[in-house]
Amino acid sequence: MGETRFASLEEACIDKKVIEEAGRIIRNGGLVAFPTETVYGLGGDALQKESSRRIYAAKGRPSDNPLIVHICRWEDIKKIAGKIPPKAEILAKALWPGPLTMILEKTDAVPPETTGGLSTVAVRMPQNKIALALIEAAGGYVAAPSANISGKPSPTLAEHVQEDLGGRIDLILDGGAACIGLESTIVDLTGDKPVILRPGYITKEMLEEILGCPVDVDRMSPDGEKGKAPRAPGMKYRHYAPEGQLTIVSGNETDVTAMICRLVKEKMRAGERTGIICSEETRPLYQADHIEVMGPREDKEAAARHLYAALRRFDSRKIDYIYSEEFSGNGVGMAVMNRLLKAAGHRILQAK
Ligand code: AMP
Ligand code: MG
């Protein structure tokens, strides 16, 4: 493809002309990257199979990894979801627009290309006003995976999209930094008990409180159990990975910091470029070629916001080996650790 255009927008006063043009591109089968509160999305018309094919091609994404369909009005869900359980309505009332994706039975209006051949569809109503305006201008149904090359960290800035997809898509809408920084929570509502397929900013505790019933977390490993298809097909692929080798070091703080210092020293002696992911509290203990601070240890939201941009900076600084402290896994921390583990290909060392 040729040139990718770039347009900056303010959420507080959206330029209607730009949105109309972006909507027209999508309706005509083209691709537009746009900001959401989670990460940047790569949008195409969810109801045109050719658009979904183009999304997969632009990202280099395997075509059995389904796309999330983004809507801007609750009523619109009826066209794409066959059965809408009461729990879906309750969650939508409480959390939409927002960073929650629901898996529901699909209707024939959604082509199998969009759902990776599944009989279910993932639906979300994002909160970002630029995203909502674009979805409306595009006809109401925008399929949008994260706007990165498949396997790379998701983009939290328009510049990341440009880096990955410049020349492969029609337009990038720049709306500044994504405020959450991790992809939406995905909850499967097709069974009796809701199941979280991907943790995110909306936590298990929040869903249980709103629904008044227990919610499971799917513990499927990214590679899937032998002979069993993963429930969120995207989970079987390596994700969010920096080019250098990332290792997570787990254990109590004293042991972890000592082990990271030891490992970094060994690699530096061998002439490798080293990096560290740590908290504000432990930062003074380290020396390496590049250090990324995720924020105060207990601030999981800050870690979520910083993680992907940090992973990309290790690449631009050509770091060979990255060591990360472990983050505690409750609340939003569960989502941070889930992405970090995938980025590390589950390479985790116990500090002693
Ligand atoms: P991304 O758009 O890059 O955030 O990835 C979308 C994620 O949603 C992938 O991990 C998919 O596997 C998951 N997903 C999308 N549709 C479905 C579905 N119908 N059932 C289960 N998971 C889905
Ligand atoms: Mg993605």
The residue nearest atom 12 of ligand 1, judged by CA position, is 234
Q: Is the CB of residue 264 less than 8 Å from the CB of residue 287?
A: yes
The residue nearest atom 21 of ligand 1, judged by CA position, is 232
The residue nearest atom 20 of ligand 1, judged by CA position, is 232
Output the CA 319–ligand 2 centroid distance in Å: 23
Protein residues near ligand 2, an ion, with CB under 5 A: 146
pLDDT in tens, the chain (352 residues): 579 999 999 999 999 999 999 999 999 999 999 999 999 999 999 999 999 999 999 999 888 889 999 999 999 999 999 989 999 999 999 999 999 999 999 999 999 999 999 999 999 999 999 999 999 999 999 999 999 999 899 999 999 999 999 999 999 999 999 999 999 999 999 999 999 999 999 999 999 999 999 999 987 644 334 344 556 655 556 678 899 999 999 999 999 999 999 999 999 999 999 999 999 999 999 999 999 999 999 999 999 999 999 999 999 999 999 999 998 878 899 999 999 999 999 999 999 8
The residue nearest atom 7 of ligand 1, judged by CA position, is 234
Output the CA 145–ligand 2 centroid distance in Å: 6
The residue nearest atom 15 of ligand 1, judged by CA position, is 66
Q: Residue 240: nearest ligand to its CA?
A: 2
Task: Please tell me if the CB atom of residue 322 comes closer than 6 angstroms to any atom of ligand 1.
Answer: no
**Mutation to probe ligand 1, out of 38, 68, 118 (largest number of atoms < 8 A from CB):** 68
Helix axes 158-165, 300-316, angle to 10 degrees: 40
- Residue 75 burial (10 A CB sphere; 0-12, 13-18, 19+): exposed
Atom of ligand 1 nearest to the CA of 233: 12
pTM summary value: 0.94
Task: Please tell me if the CB atom of residue 65 comes closer than 6 angstroms to any atom of ligand 1.
Answer: yes
Output the CA 182–ligand 1 centroid distance in Å: 14
Token pair, residue 119, equals: 């009989």
Per-residue pLDDT tens over the stretch 37-90 = 999 999 999 999 999 999 999 999 888 889 999 999 999 999 999 989 999 999
